[in-house]
A and B are shown apart, each in its own frame.
Chain A
């Protein structure tokens, strides 16, 4: 029915198109340069009030046919745009653009189908350009490339395993058990970012007796990657980050945690450009913890049994005599991974059609042997004007990615690499002889054998395609009405393969385990919108938009667990026992929206909108919830209220909005789980109690700020204050377990985030030879649980003994409580950073040599660090024998003594100052052969320098993935750093 409706709508658009006549067109050529005379490549030249346009080539030149009576708009990211009126058009135009240090002319998407320039924006919207994202020191995956680049975000890598896995929290925690991660929208397609567990709990038992994919409170411990990592950063033109409801309200049901809008590259009219780039690099571990230096006495002390102690010291002496003392940490985590990345892109077009094509492949090793990441991607974006009034755009992207992620993190069976190392002393003999590995007498597994023989692979085949059409339904001098449709599908097929052959030491009981997961996921969405722009005078305009949105999701995960697997076989039927689980989720969200934007001479901008949303995940599926938004910006300099030369631009702004976060699928139901015995099918009540009347959580956000620039725009400031209130936040309460339920979904209370974001852009140096632009950002967030309607209990870690998160009324949402050493429990820390700062700098010499770097400082915020404690328990920590504590006993002994009485030792400050990215690039433009237009070479370092006092592999860590309880450190896959060489040829 709906398809029929769409078809009718489409046909009716075509039927009412106004006829058009062309006469006396002009052809204009020209060159666009910056104010130092350097050519601006890729600047866009568009015909005023039309969709016609082109872009400049590698020399900054363009050629465009212009209909009569039309002017031109010339713009390029990072420059102030310029309008050329009809009367000023020449056959050859030499256009100079001024640098837009404060990004005032940047166009920001504010509605589902409308946009405004930053100078009129009511919100602080962060943007990341292609250069900032990928042009300094490219990270392995898209999500890692965001780190340090979004003011107001707390971005934290879960660990260093190849293939990504990063948590992005915009302006504080926005939910406890609901979704805390932003919505990603790529060219209008809502992209899935689910982390699918590979079922490793079968071997790690990280959640004791849990299901293969068990989620502990707040997240799985399997360390899966986030699916957003599949996207290729090289294809991205720009990213906009809507950080909260006041900006994102119009995205509705899934916007409460913010929206990250990704726009990929498009072809422009002009010469076809071909670009080939190649990166070669290496990946090394950032930091190793070191190992304990043993002697005979220390070896003996590993056992409390004196006879065993004697044997151990003999073992040590024998190993020492043969020179067989090893640093196993280095052997396990000290591999150097080789990385290569090749990207071919072709773009171009004519007056009707533009295209962008790219083919790319990267293949990277890890710091653990047999781990790594591979991503192959094809993209084709085509824009086509069917007529002057109808434009369609198609984006297609096929991705094949594969990540071998190793076996790390928490486990209860002694099989993960870090846990096995923690009890393995340097005099253990673990090396193979002809491929046969000895059992590790000090642990449940031999990590060298584990690395050599096991597999933990995620591989994805993904297809993302989007379709957009813009049809001008009506056009007069004062009014334009458009029908805009955007939509698309995101489909992927994910296979997880965890293979543990029977020969592994820890497979003595199961005699070989194969866990294979098959997931298919289909997301679809569309937006249909009517937009009318009314311009009664050239000093006043109104943009009215209204429309419908729909999103659906269909996720199907089948996980097969085979044990007693025939030696050498991996198929699930080659096994003595086979267990399977299937999990499906399905949702449909629908929304209706209307928005009005009024612009009074670029002085006053007023925005108001309302959205009605419903979701099949809500208790009441047919009920629409109402979410309003509004914004105001007042540009005092344009108003001429402020005269003089001090302020180039001064704007006051305020915005308010609401958005929701729908409950997780299935939170309505009290279910039975399958629990069979001896072939009798059994049903056992699931310990999670359903809530038939569950509601979405509602976020309201108010933000206000002032933006100003001085010194002719060379120094710009953006100051923002926000308050976000989350009402009815979704949480799993912990009812008395005697009820038969361990958890129950609830709309459990209210929580508030307040914060400040300060940004500065400066053209520090601007001479003919040197240009230095810098951006400095500072931000902080504080949260407060204003109401909690369910009893407060520890959650999301390992209890008070080791430090635990706990939601408590009147306290920070991310506080960490633990035993205080005085017989009680008190607050020992908070995961929220005190503040964060970052600075991005680009220094260009002679327009040829460019140095870019990004420094990121996170101050404060505690982690729960249990990695060192694991090493203490195993008697292998590097500082085990040092005595620097108040009791005068070895530090290892001291820390073990703290367990059960005092958790201060494990709640550690995770501040860091990190040189995230630095890159040096040189461009050759005057080349001896004319078919090569430019060659760029570069060297870059990613995450090379970190200054921190934190005592584990890296302060960025999360054993529980990207859920609420981040910052728990249990023997993660250590973080890596990388060095790359880059070369690009433009044809």
Chain B
């Protein structure tokens, strides 16, 4: 009997000892969002800024593929991924799917950056470790980048719309269509601009060059605003915004803000880059690129001749896309050459044809071509402007969008019977529930 009592006590003791040690190991691998939004330090906020800038590059090459392939600037041949030549071109009766990588991946990556911007805004707002001016700097940056990312998704989905208000994952705002969405993005940029007006920038940016301070960031913000103005056909506003941006008719075409790449720890490479004359996985120019180019145009070097013609599934090309010439080559976010063309477009649309032609000629002569000698009509100049933009911003994610704005998608070449030129991507399936 004594023994049973002893055993009983032992068991009780064992359970008590055991009970007292419930382990919670926390997160052994990564920083958690919760720990950042309570009271972040400046260095933690800087981590969020760099993460945001870094995140701009995720799936960027897929975005360029989407716009370049549908806009008939290029093909992406891959032995292991047929959908670049089927779905995106409408080959063999295929259509764009709402569950495939070409829309779901870039869409999600852009909204990841939007989320990071929202966390940055919340963390900066809650932080007591920074000054008010510093806070404005963080918030202005977050608002500007958020607007840029929303625009990129809207470029893909167009009339299918985007969500603007995504702060609360459990209570997302409605999907708004393109006119409303463009206005919302514009106003977000305006908020960003006013934040920069009295901002103290204490973070380091990688691809912003001289535009890393408050004044430069405001100029970058206005450059994006000018692009949006043109998309909204607000021609005069575009000219005003260009005036506040880094736009310069005499400046370097490549002055601007870029996504930069590197081989460092945790950094990303430019995955659009493929060496010349590869086989298998390649990006080649659409044959019309070389067929349509004016003789002497130095932009022919953006698509170099291959040793052997590449072909896949009824498509072929003899030129490699050679816009990004190394795995660390930067990709423009916005640069002066585009601003000059936006300036041309706004002026032509405002019927200031001479200012328009002037800008076009800066582009033409800058690329080893003679000055424009065609008709001085608004429509002829629009055609010329679109043509210059096609070559100046080749494979930078523009042509499909520009032709869509002017209802000219039907002018794009069809390579195979049954191929289609899509006007927009469906919303990812997860958005449609």
Contact = CB atoms under 8 A, between A and B. Distances in A.
Nearest to A677: B54
Name the residue in A2, A209, A548 with the highest tally of chain B Cβ atoms < 10 Å from its Cβ. A209
A414 to B, nearest CB: 4
B97 A548 contact: no
Given A735-B430, A801-B94, A900-B93, A672 B51 contact: yes
Nearest to B33: A670
Interface string A883-921: 000000000000011011100000000000000000000
A50 interface: no
A441 B260 contact: no
B161 to A, nearest CB: 11
A105 to B, nearest CB: 33
B105 A899 contact: no
B24 to A, nearest CB: 4
B206 interface: yes
A509 B272 CA distance: 12
A587 B31 contact: no
B158 to A, nearest CB: 16
A412 B33 CA distance: 32
Interface in A404-460: 410-414, 419-420, 422-423, 439-445
**Which of A442, A738, A896 has the most chain B CB within a 10 Å cutoff?**
A738
Contacts of A586: 25, 28
A677 B6 CA distance: 65
A642 B37 CA distance: 73
A769 B3 CA distance: 59
B82 A899 contact: yes
A689 B169 CA distance: 9
B265 A738 contact: no
Contacts of A473: 3, 7
Contacts of A16: 3, 6
Given A308-B308, A682-B53, A622 B22 contact: yes
Interface in B308-329: 308-309, 311-316, 318, 327
Interface in A541-587: 546, 548, 550, 563-564, 576-580, 582-587
Interface stretch (A490-498, A651-659, A791-799, A807-815): A791-799
B429 A794 contact: yes
Interface in B251-297: 260, 262-268, 271, 273-275, 278-281
Contacts of B316: 303-305, 308
A680 interface: yes
Contacts of B82: 869, 873, 896, 899
B406 interface: no
Of A304, A412, A587, most B-chain CB atoms within 10 Å: A304
A212 to B, nearest CB: 12
Contacts of A804: 99
Contacts of A686: 30
A621 B163 contact: no
B79 A422 contact: yes
Given A305-B316, A685-B119, A800 B113 contact: no
Contacts of A670: 32-34
Given A414-B280, A443-B280, A897-B93, A682 B172 contact: no
Interface stretch (A389-397, A739-747, A943-951, A972-980): A739-747
B292 to A, nearest CB: 19
Contacts of B274: 509
Contacts of A504: none
B235 interface: no
B428 interface: yes
B151 to A, nearest CB: 14
A21 interface: no
A443 B79 contact: yes
A623 to B, nearest CB: 9
B54 A413 contact: no
A671 interface: yes
A580 to B, nearest CB: 7
How large, as a class, is the contact surface on chain B?
A: 35 or more
Given A440-B279, A582-B29, A738 B431 contact: yes
B305 interface: no
B93 A901 contact: yes
Contacts of B312: 304, 873
B118 A740 contact: yes
Contacts of B36: 672, 683
A197 B79 CA distance: 24
A90 interface: no
A2 B47 contact: no
A23 interface: no
Interface stretch (B8-16, B131-139, B337-345): B8-16
A407 B411 CA distance: 45
A899 B28 contact: no
Interface string B62-100: 100000000000000011111100110001111101011
A900 B50 contact: no
B97 A801 contact: yes
Contact of A304 (B58, B97, B267, B313): B313
B22 A679 contact: no
B22 A616 contact: yes
Contacts of B267: 579, 676-679
Nearest to B327: A509
Contacts of B52: 682, 684
A622 to B, nearest CB: 4
B250 interface: no
Contacts of B280: 413-414, 420, 423, 440, 442-445, 506
Contacts of A734: 430
Contacts of A684: 51-52, 54-55, 58, 112-113, 116
A550 B14 CA distance: 12
B55 A675 contact: yes
Contact of A737 (B111, B268, B273): B111
B121 to A, nearest CB: 13
Nearest to B205: A680
B115 to A, nearest CB: 2
B433 interface: yes
A12 interface: yes
Given A474-B3, A738-B431, A444 B281 contact: yes
Contacts of A508: 275, 278
A742 B18 CA distance: 39
Nearest to B56: A677
Contacts of B166: 738-740
A83 interface: no
A583 B7 contact: no
Given A666-B29, A684-B52, A509 B172 contact: no
Contacts of B46: 680
A9 B10 CA distance: 8
Q: Looking at B47, B51, B81, B278, which has the most chain A CB atoms within 10 Å of its CB? A: B51
Given A209-B59, A530-B7, A616-B23, A737 B428 contact: yes
A793 B28 contact: no
Contacts of B430: 734-737, 742, 791, 793
A386 interface: no
A318 interface: no
Interface string B420-433: 00000000111101
Contact of A738 (B21, B24, B163): B163
B18 A548 contact: yes
Given A676-B54, A680-B50, A584 B278 contact: no
24 contacts: A1-B21, A304-B312, A305-B311, A308-B316, A412-B81, A413-B280, A582-B29, A621-B22, A669-B27, A671-B32, A672-B32, A677-B260, A682-B48, A684-B113, A689-B169, A737-B104, A737-B431, A739-B111, A793-B99, A801-B100, A869-B82, A873-B312, A899-B82, A900-B92
The 7 closest A-B pairs by CB, nearest first: A900-B94, A740-B115, A444-B280, A682-B50, A682-B51, A678-B206, A305-B316
Given A682-B54, A873-B313, A899-B92, 7 more contacts: A444-B79, A548-B18, A670-B32, A675-B50, A681-B47, A737-B111, A793-B429
